[in-house]
Amino acid sequence: MNQSFDRIEVEPAYRKVAAVLTERITARSFSSGDRLPSETELARQFGVNRSTVREALRELQTAGLLMRSRGSKLMMVTRPHADHVAESVSRALMLHDVTFLDVYESLSMFEPPIAESAARRRVDDDLALLHQAQENFNLHKDDTARCVHHVGEFFGVIAAATHNPVLVLAQEPLIQLLEPTLGAMIDKVSQARSRISTAQRRLSDAIRARNADDARTWMAKHIRDLRRGYEVAGVDLNLKIQGRTRSESSPRL
């Protein structure tokens, strides 16, 4: 019987080094803030060239697992920021032909429970951040780019008030997909800015009062209003989302 076998992929040495370092970091052998040995020492321990180690460290730096602090030659272990994690997820979702409708359906499922949880779990520091995000939006309502940025900021502060990092990381990719096209909708729909401001005020009041039911209700209404704004602006919700992620087109200010 004739049999065929798949070609064995020979993994570059730097990938093997990166895999070992990633495993150690995710296993908490290194904590956030710990510094790795020098490139020379790592090369000696791994039995590879220094250039191999340098390429592995560059890969982990791109992934957000390492950073080089100012004035130091050593790489430091770091925790990837939500923006960094979400950017890869957002790009992957676009490659999977996600539509505007997909995003809004997901937001309608995620955001109301997040707002409800924020109302139950918020602390005073969360309220200060929520108030600042609301003030930022109202202050920059006439500046579309800043306006859009502060819409995303407001959503992010509510998620952070749940004190659940899974919810923060799950929300962020959807907000990144929403933001780059939000400005066009806001500019075309005359009432969009005032309706967003009203929704933010009512959500802030509900979260401050720990009124979980009102927080959930107003968030659901806010998401419906945003979706309706896209429809009024003539955006086909069945269109596939394309182009750049928020961090590539309108980074957080």
- Give the CATH number, domain containing residue 30: 1.10.10.10
Concatenating the DSSP letter of every residue in 187-199 gives: HH-TTHHHHHHHH
- Give the CATH number, domain containing residue 189: 1.20.120.530
Q: Residues 31, 142: one domain? A: no
Joined together, the tokens standing for residue 158 give: 């509510």
Tell me what pLDDT residue 208 has: 97
Is residue 8 in some structural domain? no
Is residue 31 in some structural domain? yes
Task: Report long-range pairs for 42-51 (Cβ below 8 Å, ≥24 apart).
Answer: 42/17, 46/17, 46/20, 48/13, 48/14, 48/17
Tell me what pLDDT residue 249 has: 47
Q: Residues 180, 231: one domain? A: yes
Is residue 196 in some structural domain? yes
Is residue 6 in some structural domain? no
Tell me what pLDDT residue 252 has: 42
Q: Residues 23, 121: one domain? A: no
Tell me what pLDDT residue 26 has: 86
Joined together, the tokens standing for residue 64 give: 């957000």
Is residue 43 in some structural domain? yes
Mean pLDDT by 10 residues, the chain (253 residues): 71 91 89 91 94 93 85 85 70 80 92 98 96 94 91 96 93 86 89 95 97 98 94 88 56 41
Q: Residues 222, 98: one domain? A: yes
Q: Residue 44 sits in which domain range?
A: 13-77
Q: Residues 227, 106: one domain? A: yes
